[in-house]
Amino acid sequence: MNSRTLMCITAISLFAALANPVQLAAQGTRYKLIDIGTLGGPIGYGSVNGNGFRLLNNSGAVVSSADTAFPDPNQATFGCLQPDCFQAHAFLWKDGAMIDLGSLPGNNNSAAGSINSHGWITGQSQSSVLDPNLGIPEFRAVLWRHDQITDLGTLPGGTEALGIFVNDDDQVVGFSDNGIPDPFSLFLTGTQIHTFLWQKGTMQDIGTLGGPDAVPGADCGVAPPHKVVGASYSNSTPNDSTGIPTLAPFLWEHGVMTDLGTLGGTNGGAVCINRRGQIIGTSDLEGDLPGKFHAFLWQDGVMSDLGTLGGDYSIPFWLNDAGEVVGLATLPDQRYRPVIWEAGVIKDLGTLENDPCGIANSINARGQVVGGTFDCINPIHAFLWEHGRPMRDLNTLIPDGSGFQLTFALDINDRGEILAKALPQGGDPHQDSDLYGHLVLLVPCEVEAGENCEPSLLPVSATIPMNRPTIGSNATRYSKLYVRPGRERIGLHRGFEVSSPK
């Protein structure tokens, strides 16, 4: 599976109220396609953090990153950040306007990874400071709000950090190193990594379970305030089975970090938490056998194994407030399939056009599920799944002549709008689709009600730059050292690294 592709909504009462209308309206629902475009370069990228992050809020605002028209200024000295060697910036798209969110002072790259309901955006930006240990431009956790970019700073002693998500209480969750050497560092800094909670100019280190590192999970669009989940070392003694200390799922709530336990192994992590206090994550099983790990659901102190479709592993990517979980699970032949878990029961959602593999990436409050089906390496067909209906290819629900093939749906909001990755027609979908193509927004339109569903292929207009940046008073140094770790080290923002079936 492509590591870049392996990238968690409202109350139960709202879910119940909307469920029936969705069933009735779905027959006549098609989608207007809006090409979000880029910032002048060729590619609009998916999530910089991976699966489980809100890139599309309920107001229809979209954030991510896209190529500018300029070459990466660091390519000659430090190499290119993107494979095509264009400079990439974070952007905000809203009501047809593409806003270049810019970067920290200097000619730098940036990326947005999460947006909340108020339009606050967090992510990362290169700085013009070189990391004294790594010798590359540092990336720093940043917050975009009110047309300003703010450097959130680092934990004391640190040089690197990332903003991971921002919840609806305007609290930013991310992580930073602290400069203390750590042979088991979860990232390339070689130093301890701690999770932080930032609010109103103050960065709080939430600590660990007793070991050197703790990293946060995702938001799944429903992250409640003052609660963070993730993975933390519980000691500093490596296990014979993994070569690293025990890495356990945690819940941090109002200053207290709790070890959630595992499914018998010594390697696990929590992905996200909903407003009911339900937590999803992944854990090794007893013996820590390579390639064997299961999704779990934790609630009221009890961890339940969500199981697989008969294969070795399963991964949850999104959780709504109704407790529905979506992700992937393997068959006995280790092909991975898009699945939904409802009340702990797993359901294979199937695939499209005989694609052997697939991922369910996001679910909204209505229970609508989006994702993609794969050749087991790269996404080929973006899909929509709804209760009572078979999986549908989103390419069949947009007007002809769009000029795009939709390969993977990243997010769906409670209005039913869908953010997807799209390739130019004629492009080869059997390549890494995140490394070319655009992001597109699909807006529901009711054919039976006479709505115009013709594509809105907006030209790439002049982008709107933001105002000059402001730098937080505790600004020091940050880096994008979001390394895509192998499955022996859980990259909670992307889930476990998995391999294609033999």
124-138, 197-211, 386-400, 425-439: range with lowest mean pLDDT: 425-439
Pick the closest to residue 296 from 346, 257, 244, 334 (CA basis). Answer: 346
Any domain includes 167: yes
Pick the closest to residue 216 from 160, 271, 141 (CA basis). Answer: 271
- Percentage of residues of the chain with pLDDT beyond 70: 83
CB atoms within 10 A of CB 461: 10
Q: Is the pLDDT confidence value at 502 over 70?
A: no
Any domain includes 7: no
Any domain includes 164: yes
Q: Is the pLDDT confidence value at 482 over 90?
A: no
The per-residue pLDDT for range 263-296, each reduced to its tens digit, is 999 999 999 999 999 999 999 999 999 999 999 9
Find the mean pLDDT for residues 366-379.
Answer: 96
User: What is the rounded distance in angstroms from the CA atom of residue 312 to the CA atom of residue 291?
Assistant: 7
Any domain includes 486: no
Residue 456: the pLDDT is 56
CATH number of the domain that 347 lies in?
2.130.10
- Percentage of residues of the chain with pLDDT beyond 90: 73
Q: For the chain, what's the residue count?
A: 502
C-beta of residue 36 within 8 angstroms of C-beta of residue 81: no
Residue 451: the pLDDT is 67
Residue 28: the pLDDT is 62
Its sign, for the CA torsion 202, 177, 281, 376, is: positive
Any domain includes 40: yes
Residue 9: the pLDDT is 23
Any domain includes 499: no
The count of structural domains within the chain is 1
Structure-token pair, residue 278 = 């339900």
For residue 164, which amino acid is it? I
Side-chain-side CA neighbours of residue 98 (13 Å): 24
Any domain includes 487: no
Pick the closest to residue 281 from 265, 266, 298, 259 (CA basis). Answer: 298
Any domain includes 130: yes
Its sign, for the CA torsion 182, 185, 187, 192, is: negative
The per-residue pLDDT for range 84-115, each reduced to its tens digit, is 999 999 999 999 999 999 999 988 999 999 99
Pick the closest to residue 92 from 83, 101, 84 (CA basis). Answer: 101
Residue 1: the pLDDT is 37
Q: Is the pLDDT confidence value at 298 over 50?
A: yes
Residue 450: the pLDDT is 58
User: What is the rounded distance in angstroms from the CA atom of residue 40 to the CA atom of residue 145?
Assistant: 23
Q: Is the pLDDT confidence value at 499 over 80?
A: no
The per-residue pLDDT for range 433-468, each reduced to its tens digit, is 677 899 999 999 875 555 667 755 444 433 444 433
Written as one string, the DSSP assignment of 239-290 is PTTTSS--EEEEEEETTEEEE---BEEEEEEEEEE-TTS-EEEEEEETT--T
**Cβ contacts of residue 70 below 8 Å, gap of 6+?**
40, 41, 86, 87
- Bridge-based pairing of strands 369-374 and 264-273 is unpaired
Q: Is the pLDDT confidence value at 501 over 60?
A: no
Q: Which domain holds residue 279?
A: 12-471
| Average per-residue pLDDT for the chain | 85
Three-class DSSP category at 185: coil
For residue 456, give the DSSP letter.
B
